Amino acid sequence: MKDWIYPSVVFVIFLYVMAFVLFYTYKGQAGYGGGKQKGGTTSVENFQSEMSKKLK
């Protein structure tokens, strides 16, 4: 009888942790906006100018 109690408890804890992770991962993505970019596609020149601004 003791052989199945420990694995069952560990499995239930594993399921609880996975549900916790999935819930907060989904909740975090909802505020992200789905990865939509406001300005559309950027050009190489714009990218280079932004990178040079950040590096200064």
More confident residue, 6 or 25: 6
**SS percent in the chain: helix, strand, coil, step 5:** 75, 0, 25
Instruction: Kindly state the DSSP code that residue 23 receives in the 8-state scheme.
Output: H
Predicted confidence (pLDDT) per residue in 27-39, tens digit = 766 665 555 556 6
Instruction: Tell whether the model's pLDDT for residue 44 goes beyond 90.
Output: no
Distance between CA atoms of 48 and 27, rounded to whole angstroms?
34
Question: Closest Cα to residue 37, out of 45, 47, 28, 27?
Answer: 47
pLDDT averaged over the chain? 81
